[in-house]
């Protein structure tokens, strides 16, 4: 299943098989690839960029998946269709979690053996055609923004119940009313009233039932703990977070990853401080190339 995607930069065609590094952007729940426009505008003059609409969102709202495995497979198919060779994933919130799971799908067997508890939960459900063939797109790095590494087993049932309540509301209630409450959650406390209203207006174009389906398919309750296999396979993973987002700043600091904390920003750094976010990504890319 292919997902909707848009190319930006000096290589905008489908054929990217020229060895150029592509920066692939994955949005959060309720978003779309166009959420990254301010960041892409900064990077595109120097870097090849690809924005993707995740299942149930944007122009991919009719593309539905049932779990992380199908989501990762859809992303892989889209990258292959686009002719992507070497690439870096930049993911926000849900997009960061999808990026981490996608990366862990391609762990070599030697790494899987050293993290059997986590990796068996991943590798047992990865389709065989998603192996690490030489012709497959090659992930070389990641920038994570506000992405959770995974919950302890004892917290997962409560989280799924929480997500199920939101999914029910998204399916049954007017979307604007649900969104108004959604952006009152503590994780969005750094947003101004104007920013909240802008997000409610922007997100009202979503299909509530499609978003609800994706919310349950990729609930944090269903996600394995991804940090150990991720750090062993990809030493260059970088984490970006806002200084006002104390929850995820703490998670990032304790992760052992390299971390950039952006001033005057909360959970949604690329919306609240797009230029600072873009500069941090640019700095990361310069060290990768």
Please state the length of the chain. Answer: 289
Spatial CB neighbours of 94, under 8 Å, sequence gap ≥ 6: 26, 27, 28, 29, 54, 214, 218
**Nearest in space to 92 (alpha carbons), one of 267, 237, 251:** 267
Q: How far, CA to CA in Å, does 163 sit from each of 64, 84, 86, 266?
A: 17, 34, 35, 22
User: What Rg value do the Cα atoms of the chain yield, rounded?
Assistant: 18
pLDDT of residue 20: 82
Please identify which residue in the block is written with the tokens 């995740």.
54
Write the pLDDT tens digit of every residue in 98-119.
999 999 986 443 333 333 444 4
**Nearest in space to 124 (alpha carbons), one of 76, 73, 69:** 69
pLDDT of residue 11: 57
Work out the mean pLDDT of the chain and round it to a whole number: 88
Q: If you average pLDDT over each of 12-16, 206-210, 227-231, which comes out highest? A: 206-210
Quick one: how many helices (H) and strands (E) in the chain? Answer: 13, 7
Give phi and psi for 115, each to the nearest 5. Answer: -130, 50
pTM: 0.90
Weakest mean pLDDT among 15-24, 121-130, 174-183, 227-236? 121-130
pLDDT bin (cut points 50, 70, 90) of residue 125 is very low
269, 146 in Cβ contact below 8 A? yes
Please identify which residue in the block is written with the tokens 């398919």.
217
CA–CA distance, 66 with 162 (Å, rounded to integer): 18
Residues of the chain above pLDDT 70, percent: 86
Residues of the chain above pLDDT 90, percent: 79
Write the pLDDT tens digit of every residue in 238-259.
999 999 999 999 999 999 999 9
Mean pLDDT of 171-199: 93
């Amino acid at each position: 299943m292919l997902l909707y995607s848009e190319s930006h930069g000096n290589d905008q065609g489908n054929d990217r098989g020229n060895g150029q590094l592509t920066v692939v952007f994955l949005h959060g729940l309720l978003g779309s690839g166009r959420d990254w426009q301010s960041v892409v505008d900064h990077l595109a003059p120097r870097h090849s960029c690809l924005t993707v609409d995740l299942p149930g969102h944007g122009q991919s709202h009719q593309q539905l998946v049932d779990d992380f495995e199908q989501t990762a497979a859809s992303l892989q198919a889209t990258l292959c269709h686009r002719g992507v060779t070497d690439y870096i994933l930049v993911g926000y919130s849900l997009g960061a979690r999808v990026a981490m799971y996608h990366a862990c799908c391609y762990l070599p067997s030697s790494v899987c053996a050293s993290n059997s508890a986590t990796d068996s939960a991943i590798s047992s459900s990865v389709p065989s055609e998603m192996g690490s063939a030489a012709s497959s797109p090659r992930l070389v790095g990641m920038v994570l923004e506000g992405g959770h590494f995974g919950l302890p087993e004892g917290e997962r049932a409560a989280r799924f119940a929480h997500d199920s309540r939101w999914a029910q509301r998204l399916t049954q209630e007017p979307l604007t009313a649900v969104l108004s409450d959604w952006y009152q959650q503590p994780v969005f406390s750094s947003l101004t009233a104007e920013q909240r209203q802008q997000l409610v207006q922007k997100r009202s174009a979503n299909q509530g039932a499609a978003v609800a389906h994706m919310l349950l398919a990729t609930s944090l309750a269903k996600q394995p703990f991804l940090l150990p296999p991720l750090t062993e396979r990809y030493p260059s993973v970088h984490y970006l977070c806002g200084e006002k987002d104390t929850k995820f700043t703490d998670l990032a600091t304790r992760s052992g990853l390299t971390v950039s904390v952006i001033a005057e920003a909360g959970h949604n750094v690329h919306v609240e401080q797009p230029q600072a976010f873009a500069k941090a990504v640019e700095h990361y890319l310069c060290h990768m190339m």
